Amino acid sequence: MHELRKDPIVGRWVIIAPDRITRPVNLHEVEPPLNDEFDPFLEGNEEATPPEILAYRNPGTRPNGPGWRVRVVPNKFPALKVEGELLKRGDGMYDKTTGIGAHEVIIECPHRETNLSRLSVDNIREVLWVYRDRLVDLRRDPRLIHGLIFKNKGALAGASLDHSHSQLIVSPIVPITIQEELEGAEAFYRYRGRSIFSDMIQQELATDSRVVLDSPNFLVICPFASRFPFETWILPKQHSSHFENVTRPAIEELGVVLKQTLRKLEFALDDPPYNFVIHTAPFDRQELPHFLWHIELFPRLTRVAGFEWGSGFYINPVPPENAAKFLRETSGE
């Protein structure tokens, strides 16, 4: 059984998910080759994945057959599994929990396309609706308190298949990055009575130098303290702490904004590997006045030195103002 373990010093949870590695030396291929031969995510290959959890389907088509537009299946090698009891236990000074949760794959299109940005806006909107639908469904399980939606694009960003897809991990704990944001944002709110995200949006709009894209309901920026070259955040202008409460007009617009942002990054950086993560508030909190859901996007470029995640000390050779200017001037059409 997989296990969640908490670092006693900093409170960071880690999923210990033993897979079928028999000898440690097998770990040592650093770049997993993307499988070019068989595409288990292709329409018609539905039997190559576990049975679907959700699919947006054309009328008259049947589950686990062709005729879908976006499809969700369990991860074949899940980090967390939904079966079993949530047992929180101590082990001397340490805390652990059974690895209860969900780990799903969102297959973003039925045909073989590697880039989300090349899908139609309508297709991207359906992907966003699927994200929302899965969170709404999974949050009903009282054992689960947080949903992390993320995308690994390209082998160097951690993808093991090149057919465009994203992932969802729903867990009984809050990932430390989200926890730290919640705490920082709450401290600011207590002190000033305002959302730090609103202040940030106001200042970024006034300064303008880090703005990549400004649409009626979304602001895309390279953040002031960007850890990585071309780090890019998509912030909704309407306050909302939970992504799953997103409105229909917001999704309509986000489809366009996400597509444009990705295309800008891809043109500017020659189709880089990248990750994005949707930061959203925990299920067990109601609407929070201090937290804003948002998307953080990181192209995976060179010169991301190795020690940075070990030390928390990031060195970024590209000032976000330069990155934003470049992205602003790069066509996203």
E strand or H helix at 181, and its extent? helix 176-192
Interface with its own copies (CB under 8 A), residue from 110, 147, 172, 320: 320
Q: CB burial class (10 A; 0-12, 13-18, 19+) of residue 266? A: buried
Interface with its own copies (CB under 8 A), residue from 35, 203, 238, 247: 203
Q: Is 5:95 a contact under the CB 8 Å cutoff?
A: yes
What is the distance between the alpha carbons of residues 129 and 132, in angstroms, rounded to a whole number? 5
Q: Tokens at residue 15, please?
A: 């999923």
- Would you say how long the chain is, in residues? 333
Of 37 and 270, which has the nearer Cβ to its own copies?
A: 270
Which string of x and - marks every residue 57-96 that binds its own copies (by CB under 8 A)? ----------------------x-----------xxxx--
Interface with its own copies (CB under 8 A), residue from 196, 219, 258, 281: 196
The least distance separating its own copies from the CB of residue 187, rounded to whole angstroms, comes to 9
Which residues are within 8 A (CB) of 204 and not within 5 positions of it... i.e. 6 or more apart? 210, 211, 219, 221
The least distance separating its own copies from the CB of residue 258, rounded to whole angstroms, comes to 16
**Which among 38-46, 61-69, 112-120, 182-190 is the span making contact with its own copies, rule CB under 8 A?**
182-190
Residue of 103, 146, 163, 165 marked active site: 165
The least distance separating its own copies from the CB of residue 67, rounded to whole angstroms, comes to 31
What is the distance between the alpha carbons of residues 246 and 92, in angstroms, rounded to a whole number? 42
How many CB atoms within 10 Å of residue 104?
Answer: 24
E strand or H helix at 234, and its extent? strand 232-236
Interface with its own copies (CB under 8 A), residue from 42, 175, 215, 217: 175
Which string of x and - marks every residue 105-144 that binds its own copies (by CB under 8 A)? ----------------------------------------
| Residue 309 interacts with its own copies (CB under 8 A): yes or no | yes
What is the distance between the alpha carbons of residues 148 and 131, in angstroms, rounded to a whole number? 10
Helix (H, G, I), strand (E, B) or coil at 256: helix
Footprint of its own copies on 210-249 (CB under 8 A): 223-227, 229-230
E strand or H helix at 8, and its extent? none
The least distance separating its own copies from the CB of residue 197, rounded to whole angstroms, comes to 8
What is the distance between the alpha carbons of residues 7 and 94, in angstroms, rounded to a whole number? 7
| Residue 179 interacts with its own copies (CB under 8 A): yes or no | yes
Closest CA to 129 of 263, 250, 295: 250
The least distance separating its own copies from the CB of residue 157, rounded to whole angstroms, comes to 4
Known active-site residue 165? yes
E strand or H helix at 21, and its extent? none
Helix (H, G, I), strand (E, B) or coil at 145: coil
Interface with its own copies (CB under 8 A), residue from 19, 36, 83, 333: 19
- Number of chain positions touching its own copies (CB under 8 A): 97
Footprint of its own copies on 245-304 (CB under 8 A): 268-270, 272-273, 275-277, 296, 298, 300-304
Of 60 and 312, which has the nearer Cβ to its own copies?
A: 312
Helix (H, G, I), strand (E, B) or coil at 289: coil
**Which among 37-45, 59-67, 108-116, 153-161 is the span making contact with its own copies, rule CB under 8 A?**
153-161
**Which among 54-62, 107-115, 254-262, 305-313 is the span making contact with its own copies, rule CB under 8 A?**
305-313
Strands 102-107 and 13-16: unpaired
Side chain identity at residue 127, one-letter code? V
The least distance separating its own copies from the CB of residue 140, rounded to whole angstroms, comes to 22
Question: Which residues are catalytically annotated?
Answer: 165
